[in-house]
């Protein structure tokens, strides 16, 4: 069973994928991403492959939707596992920036290749790191979902940013970048191409956003020197996280790009990366609980400026 | 015979006088929302009623509406004419260019009859008025129609104002009929053009195929002097060039309208099979809505042709030293013939169809059914699309907006040529210079409406008047804009191999993300990003081919290999070179 179901209460699509229930919750034997594991028989450097338990497939079964109330649609998207390196014990914070640059190049290739499919509307690249955010494998990897629809929060971003553009004739994120550079209250790292900072509007205690200084709407528009600068920014943010509590820091890393097969948002939407970590303290977790899940309203127990100061003071050398 | 062009009969189209007149002229450089809101509402004219609704959208406004009654033309609103405007012609070959206040149309009298309706769907207006079809843009805004399914959206310019119109060609709607939506978008031209293109694509529910092709075509080397033997020689020479498609152009048919192979070719099955032997998609050229005066089709089925007021078949244009008539795509038998024609070509093995002179399907005139020329055209192109299924359709000489959603590729400029002539008239005549100019000014439709075909690359160093730098600029522009790449050369000639290796390099990986700025200034700055980074091409003087090309420095070379596992899953491996 694989289909999309429409929620008439919230105007959102839910992907129903019955066999995700059978996914291994705790792989007991060897790592499937290591050479010789379930997925790889030969050595590789980086790889991106179809998830064994996808919630969407390019050739997803046709579905009949004849109800006005209960609409269904094909889950004709794609779910890929994006493996960063063959080194099992590595992590973004431990990898050479050169490896992260290769990862960025692979992301670009995946994005451009998948965007050739007319049914794909949005490509969401992300990483769940740590058991606290549901990652079942410790081998450094992320994932990508190529959606045949614009997910709700993505749509909210598009609407909000186009509204700001209409009102101000400017890209909101370009303005945020300018503001953060001017005030320097929340920055944790900056190079010629990117800023990393705890946003004014952070929802999570140690939330960090990475924005390119130049207006671009997707990964693809970065030139090679910007890719290298982004790899540095990613390495430094994740290193700071690990050093903050001297532990492998659990986070959700999410890349937000303009929709594909759609250029309507390119001038108003500014590519960015969000790190949403769940730790509020060394041993405390901030859960996505009733208020956050039910209302989409967040209570951040940490002043973003303080979180920024803490992260800024974590010294890292690359 | 009815020759519309030798005797322009204004009376016949005197219906224009029924068009309503909108008195207020909006100045888009200085206006209030109230002035725009005034466009909306209910209007009752002598022969028809009109309702227009306004919706605020990102960057501007959208107008939808309904019409009922007898309609020749609707004027939606008028605006003050800015000094500098990007104007556009209705079909592939016509110019899309920036004009200043002092621009005057310079069309050689002796070509008017030959060109026929190719210059305009409204030749009765075209030569004495300034017209822009589908969209028009200033440095700060764009006004454009979102579709052309029934009416023809266009702009009529006079000294001080621009009138936004929908032409219905004298049709009666008994029921309320939805009109073609129109948008006004405010921002820099370089930003609003792609945005407008996307709105059009969404309105027409375009689902663009991922097939970005590289191929070979016979036309710009052999023209009509092509035969099976030459085809076989070329096929032999194509080895290792990495084409997807090999297309035979005009030369193979008995006559325009009689789409069977002439004595220079064996059966079409044999032609297609031969091409397939080399691993290419077999491609074929034809002009499906055109019927020459010498064809058997013309003799046998005069009742399948679009007629003039006098009841005689109307000349659509002249070419091949013949008068060419237009297929009436509202005649059921003619549509059947059309469907059979394409089904049969497909059965023979062809899967790439370059369909040319398509404007002939949309000329004004009497048809069996009382529909607008646009509706007739859409019936024709729908029939072709249905017949060929998922094969690739390349439109050419085609009305742009009505073709959206029906073609995979589209010629967006005049024919190229083995010469670069900056002094000849800008009227859609073969010329590499104007061909490339249109590839630049219509860049924003690529990958959104269809894959733009900037016309063939000629990379041969002899048998051409193109200079090295002209060839280089043509190649780089086509590649950086991520357009279709079709080569047309005798492959036995000495080629510019450096350029071909650049082509192969660029086409190794998927799609590119492209932006062009500078359309209004004529200094075109292309940024084109792909897996290997962002390259740029800055054309400061197109006439003299003055440009700077810079390629991003690549530090990391990843080799991608793709494996399809037994369980159906795809694995993409990336290893360093
Ligand atoms: Zn492992
Ligand atoms: Zn921006």
Q: State whether B267 and B345 are in the same domain.
A: yes
Residue A17 to residues A55, A78, A107, Cα–Cα distance (Å): 5, 13, 25
B293-343 tens-digit pLDDT: 999 999 999 999 999 999 999 999 999 999 999 999 999 999 999 999 999
Please check the confidence at residue A153 and state whether its pLDDT lies above 80.
yes
Residue B539 lies in a domain: no
Q: State whether B185 and B250 are in the same domain.
A: no
Please provide the distance, in angstroms rounded to a whole number, between the alpha carbons at the two ends of chain B.
67
What's the rounded Cα separation, in Å, for the pair A8 and A5?
A: 9
Residue B230, domain CATH: 3.20.20.70
3-state secondary structure of A240: helix
B287 near B259, Cβ under 8 Å?
no
Q: Which two tokens stand for residue A55?
A: 């919630």
Whether A224 sits inside 8 A of B554 (CB atoms) is: yes
**How many CB atoms lie under 10 A from the CB of residue A34?**
16
What's the rounded Cα separation, in Å, for the pair B125 and B12?
A: 12
B221-257 tens-digit pLDDT: 999 999 999 999 999 999 888 899 999 999 999 999 9
Q: State whether B199 and B334 are in the same domain.
A: no
Please provide the distance, in angstroms rounded to a whole number, between the alpha carbons at the two ends of chain A.
47
Whether B555 sits inside 8 A of A108 (CB atoms) is: no
Active site residue B9: no
Q: How many domains does chain B have?
A: 2
Expressed in angstroms and rounded, the spacing between residue A50 Cα and the centre of ligand 1 is 17
Q: State whether B192 and B224 are in the same domain.
A: no
Residue B183 lies in a domain: yes
Dihedrals φ, ψ of B315, to 5°?
-75, 125
- DSSP annotation of B71: E
What's the rounded Cα separation, in Å, for the pair B453 and B213?
A: 10
B484-496 tens-digit pLDDT: 999 999 999 999 9
- DSSP annotation of A221: G
Residue B99, strand partner residues: B85
Strand (E) or helix (H) holding B315: strand B315-319
Q: Which two tokens stand for residue B460?
A: 């041969």
What's the rounded Cα separation, in Å, for the pair B212 and A279?
A: 47
Query: Which residues, other chains included, contact B517 with Cβ-Cβ below 8 Å and sequence gap of 6+?
Result: B190, B524, B525, B527
Domain end residue (candidates: B158, B179, B203): B203
Q: What is the pLDDT of residue B262?
A: 98
Averaged pLDDT, B380-385 = 98
Q: E-strand spans in B12-160?
A: 25-26, 41-44, 48-57, 60-80, 85-88, 96-99, 130-133, 135-137, 141-145, 152-157
3-state secondary structure of B333: helix
Closest-CA distance of chain B to residue A155, Å? 14
What's the rounded Cα separation, in Å, for the pair B136 and B159?
A: 15
Expressed in angstroms and rounded, the spacing between residue A29 Cα and the centre of ligand 1 is 11
**Segment among A236-250, A284-298, B182-196, B470-484 with least mean pLDDT:** A284-298
* Exposed/middle/buried for residue A144 (C-beta within 10 Å: 0-12, 13-18, 19+): buried
Q: What is the pLDDT of residue B18?
A: 44
Pairing of strands B182-186, B141-145: antiparallel
- DSSP annotation of B202: H
What's the rounded Cα separation, in Å, for the pair B28 and A148?
A: 38
3-state secondary structure of B181: coil
Q: How many CA atoms are closer than 13 Å to the CA of A143, on its beta-carbon side? A: 20
Averaged pLDDT, A234-255 = 97
Evaluate whether the domain defined by A2-313 bears CATH number 1.20.120.10: no
What's the rounded Cα separation, in Å, for the pair B463 and A75?
A: 54
* Exposed/middle/buried for residue A316 (C-beta within 10 Å: 0-12, 13-18, 19+): middle
Structural domain of B181: 10-203
Q: State whether B221 and B199 are in the same domain.
A: no
3-state secondary structure of B325: strand
Residue B152 lies in a domain: yes
Active site residue B249: no
Residue B154, strand partner residues: B133, B165
Expressed in angstroms and rounded, the spacing between residue A282 Cα and the centre of ligand 1 is 26
Closest-CA distance of chain B to residue A243, Å? 29
Q: What is the pLDDT of residue A20?
A: 53
Whether A268 sits inside 8 A of B58 (CB atoms) is: yes
Chain-centroid distance, C-alpha A311: 20
Report the chain B residue with the minimal C-alpha distance to residue A46. Answer: B574
Q: What is the pLDDT of residue A22?
A: 60
What's the rounded Cα separation, in Å, for the pair B63 and B146?
A: 10
Whether A44 sits inside 8 A of B573 (CB atoms) is: yes
Q: Which two tokens stand for residue B331?
A: 């005649």
Q: State whether B176 and B260 are in the same domain.
A: no
Domain end residue (candidates: B184, B203, B222): B203
Residue B54: which region, alpha, beta or left (left: phi > 0; alpha: psi -120 to 50)? beta
- pLDDT-derived band at B537 (thresholds 50, 70, 90) equals very high
- pLDDT-derived band at B15 (thresholds 50, 70, 90) equals very low
B81 near B158, Cβ under 8 Å?
yes
Whether A109 sits inside 8 A of B574 (CB atoms) is: yes
Dmax over CA atoms of chain A, in Å, equals: 59
Q: State whether B198 and B236 are in the same domain.
A: no
User: Whole-number mean pLDDT of chain B?
Assistant: 94
Radius of gyration, alpha carbons of chain A: 20
Averaged pLDDT, B127-136 = 96
Q: State whether B170 and B249 are in the same domain.
A: no
Please check the confidence at residue B428 and state whether its pLDDT lies above 80.
yes
Dmax over CA atoms of chain B, in Å, equals: 74
Q: What is the pLDDT of residue B527?
A: 98
- DSSP annotation of B2: B
Residue B41 to residues B20, B35, B69, B165, B526, Cα–Cα distance (Å): 14, 12, 17, 16, 42
Q: What is the pLDDT of residue A18?
A: 84
What's the rounded Cα separation, in Å, for the pair B209 and A318?
A: 44
* CA-closest candidate to residue B357, choices B395, B383, B392, B389: B395
Report the chain A residue with the minimal C-alpha distance to residue B576. Answer: A45
Q: State whether B298 and B447 are in the same domain.
A: yes
Q: Which two tokens stand for residue B493?
A: 């000639």
Q: What is the pLDDT of residue A290?
A: 93
**Segment among A25-34, A113-122, A277-286, A287-296 with least mean pLDDT:** A25-34
* CA-closest candidate to residue A102, choices A252, A210, A234: A234
Please check the confidence at residue B401 and state whether its pLDDT lies above 50.
yes
3-state secondary structure of A197: strand
What's the rounded Cα separation, in Å, for the pair A223 and A226?
A: 5
3-state secondary structure of A168: helix
* CA-closest candidate to residue A217, choices B555, B451, B527, B505: B527
Please check the confidence at residue B130 and state whether its pLDDT lies above 50.
yes
Q: State whether B95 and B239 are in the same domain.
A: no
Residue B541 lies in a domain: no
Residues in chain A within 8 Å Cβ distance of B210: 116-118
Residue B448 lies in a domain: yes
Q: Which of A45, A222, A225 is nearest residue B574 as measured by Cβ atoms? A: A45
3-state secondary structure of B277: helix
B511-533 tens-digit pLDDT: 899 999 999 999 999 999 999 99
- pLDDT-derived band at B16 (thresholds 50, 70, 90) equals very low
Residue B115 to residues A15, B169, B375, Cα–Cα distance (Å): 55, 21, 22
Whether A266 sits inside 8 A of B576 (CB atoms) is: no
Strand arrangement, sheet containing B451-453: B451-453, B409-411, B392-395, B352-355, B281-286, B245-248, B214-217, B485-487
Q: What is the pLDDT of residue A120?
A: 96
Closest-CA distance of chain B to residue A108, Å? 6
**How much of chain B is in helix, strand and coil states, percent to nearest 5?**
25, 35, 40
Please check the confidence at residue B7 and state whether its pLDDT lies above 70.
no
Residues in chain B within 8 Å Cβ distance of A101: 555-556
Please check the confidence at residue A16 and state whether its pLDDT lies above 90.
yes
Pairing of strands B60-80, B161-178: antiparallel
Residue B301 lies in a domain: yes
* CA-closest candidate to residue A304, choices A282, A283, A285, A280: A280
Pairing of strands B392-395, B352-355: parallel
Whether B59 sits inside 8 A of A166 (CB atoms) is: yes
Q: Which two tokens stand for residue B537?
A: 């091409």
Give ipTM to 2 decimals.
Answer: 0.96
Residue A27: which region, alpha, beta or left (left: phi > 0; alpha: psi -120 to 50)? beta
Residue B451 to residues B145, B379, B478, Cα–Cα distance (Å): 20, 22, 11
Residue B116: which region, alpha, beta or left (left: phi > 0; alpha: psi -120 to 50)? left
For ligand 2, a single-atom ion, which residues have Cβ within 5 Å?
Answer: A 171, 173-174, 215, 270
Q: What percent of chain B has pLDDT over 90?
A: 92
What's the rounded Cα separation, in Å, for the pair A221 and B29?
A: 32
Residues of A known to be catalytic:
141
* CA-closest candidate to residue B454, choices B403, B396, B510: B396
Residues in chain A, total: 318
- pLDDT-derived band at B508 (thresholds 50, 70, 90) equals confident
Catalytic residue among B244, B415, B482, B535: B415
Residue B474 to residues B291, B455, B467, B542, Cα–Cα distance (Å): 33, 10, 11, 10
Residue B61 lies in a domain: yes
B11 near B311, Cβ under 8 Å?
no
B360 near B293, Cβ under 8 Å?
no
Radius of gyration, alpha carbons of chain B: 24
A58-95 tens-digit pLDDT: 999 999 999 999 999 999 999 999 999 999 999 999 99
Annotated domain spans of chain A: 2-313
Residues in chain B, total: 577
Q: What is the pLDDT of residue B338?
A: 98
Residues in chain B within 8 Å Cβ distance of A113: 509-511
- Predicted TM-score of the model (pTM): 0.95
Q: What is the pLDDT of residue B1?
A: 44
């Amino acid at each position: 069973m694989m289909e999309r179901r429409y929620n008439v209460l919230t105007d959102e699509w839910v992907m129903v994928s019955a066999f995700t229930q059978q996914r291994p919750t705790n792989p007991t034997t060897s790592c499937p991403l290591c050479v010789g594991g379930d997925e790889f028989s030969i050595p590789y450097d980086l790889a991106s492959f179809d998830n064994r338990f996808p919630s969407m497939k390019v050739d997803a079964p046709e579905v009949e939707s004849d109800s006005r109330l209960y609409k269904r649609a094909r889950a004709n998207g794609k779910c890929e596992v994006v493996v960063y390196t063959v080194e099992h014990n590595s992590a973004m914070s431990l990898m050479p920036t050169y490896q992260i640059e290769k990862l960025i190049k692979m992301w670009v290739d995946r994005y451009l290749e998948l965007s050739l499919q007319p049914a794909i509307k949005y490509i969401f690249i992300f990483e769940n790191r740590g058991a606290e955010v549901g990652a079942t494998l410790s081998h450094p990897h992320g994932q990508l979902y190529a959606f045949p629809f614009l997910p709700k929060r993505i749509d909210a971003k598009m609407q909000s940013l186009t509204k700001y553009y209409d009102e101000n004739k400017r890209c909101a994120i370009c303005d945020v970048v300018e503001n953060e550079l001017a005030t320097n209250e929340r920055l944790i790292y900056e190079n010629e191409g990117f800023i990393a900072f705890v946003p004014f509007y952070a929802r999570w205690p140690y939330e960090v956003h990475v924005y390119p200084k130049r207006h671009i709407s997707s990964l693809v528009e970065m030139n090679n020197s910007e890719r290298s600068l982004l790899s540095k920014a990613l390495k430094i943010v994740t290193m700071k996280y690990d050093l903050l509590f001297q532990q492998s820091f659990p986070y959700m890393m999410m890349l937000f790009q303009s929709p594909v097969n759609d250029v309507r948002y390119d001038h108003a939407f500014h590519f960015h990366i969000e790190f949403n970590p769940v730790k509020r303290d060394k041993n405390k977790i901030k859960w996505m609980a009733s208020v956050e899940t039910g209302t989409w309203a967040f209570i951040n127990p940490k002043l973003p400026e303080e979180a920024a100061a803490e992260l800024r003071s974590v010294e890292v050398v690359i | 015979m009815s020759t519309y062009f030798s005797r322009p009969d204004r009376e016949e189209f005197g219906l224009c006088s029924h068009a309503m007149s909108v008195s207020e002229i909006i100045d888009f450089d200085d206006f209030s929302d109230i002035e725009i809101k005034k466009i909306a509402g209910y209007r009752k004219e002598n022969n028809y009623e009109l309702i227009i609704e306004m919706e605020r959208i990102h960057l501007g406004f959208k107008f939808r509406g309904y019409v009922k009654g007898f309609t020749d033309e609707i004027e939606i609103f008028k605006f003050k004419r800015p000094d500098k405007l990007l104007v556009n012609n209705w079909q592939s070959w016509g110019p899309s260019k920036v004009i200043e206040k002092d621009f005057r149309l310079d069309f050689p009298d002796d070509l008017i009859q030959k060109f026929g309706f190719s210059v305009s769907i409204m030749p009765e207006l075209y030569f004495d008025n300034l017209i822009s079809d589908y969209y028009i843009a200033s440095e700060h805004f764009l006004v454009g129609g979102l579709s052309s399914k029934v009416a023809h959206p266009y702009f009529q310019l006079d000294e001080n104002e621009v009138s936004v119109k929908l032409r219905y060609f004298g049709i009666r709607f008994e029921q309320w009929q939805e009109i073609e939506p129109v948008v006004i978008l405010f921002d820099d031209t370089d930003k609003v053009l792609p945005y407008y293109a996307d709105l059009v694509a969404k309105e027409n529910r375009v689902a663009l195929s991922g097939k970005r092709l590289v191929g070979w075509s016979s036309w710009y080397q052999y023209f009509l002097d092509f035969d099976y033997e030459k085809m076989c020689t070329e096929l032999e020479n194509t080895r290792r060039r990495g084409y997807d498609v090999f297309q035979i152009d005009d030369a193979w048919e008995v006559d325009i309208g009689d789409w069977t192979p002439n004595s220079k070719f064996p059966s079409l099955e044999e032609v297609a099979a031969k091409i397939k032997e080399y691993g290419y998609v077999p491609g074929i050229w034809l002009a499906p809505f055109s019927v020459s005066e010498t064809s058997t089709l013309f003799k046998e089925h005069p009742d399948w042709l679009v007629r003039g007021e006098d009841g005689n078949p109307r000349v659509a244009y002249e070419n091949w030293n013949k008068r060419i008539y237009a297929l009436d795509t509202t005649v059921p038998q003619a549509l059947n013939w059309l469907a059979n024609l394409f089904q049969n070509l497909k059965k023979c093995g062809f899967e790439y169809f370059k369909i040319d002179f398509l404007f002939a399907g949309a000329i004004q005139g009497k048809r069996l059914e009382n529909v607008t020329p646009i509706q007739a055209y859409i019936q024709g192109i729908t029939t072709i699309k249905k017949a060929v299924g998922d094969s690739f359709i390349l439109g050419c000489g085609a009305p742009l907006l009505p073709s959206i959603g029906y073609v995979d590729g589209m010629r967006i400029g005049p024919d190229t040529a083995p010469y670069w002539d900056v002094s000849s008239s800008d009227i859609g005549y073969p010329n590499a210079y104007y061909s490339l100019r249109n590839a630049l000014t219509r860049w924003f439709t690529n990958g959104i409406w269809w894959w733009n075909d900037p016309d063939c690359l000629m990379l041969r160093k002899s048998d051409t008047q193109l200079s090295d730098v002209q060839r280089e600029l043509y190649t780089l522009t086509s590649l950086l804009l991520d357009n279709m790449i079709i080569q047309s050369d005798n492959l036995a000639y000495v080629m510019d191999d450096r350029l071909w290796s650049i082509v192969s390099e660029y086409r190794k990986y998927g799609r590119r993300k492209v932006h062009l700025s500078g359309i209004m200034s004529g200094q075109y700055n292309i940024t084109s990003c792909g897996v290997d980074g962002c390259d740029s091409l800055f054309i400061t003087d197109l006439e003299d081919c003055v440009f700077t090309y810079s390629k991003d420095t690549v530090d990391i070379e990843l080799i991608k290999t793709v494996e399809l596992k037994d369980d159906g899953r795809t694995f993409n491996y990336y290893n360093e070179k």
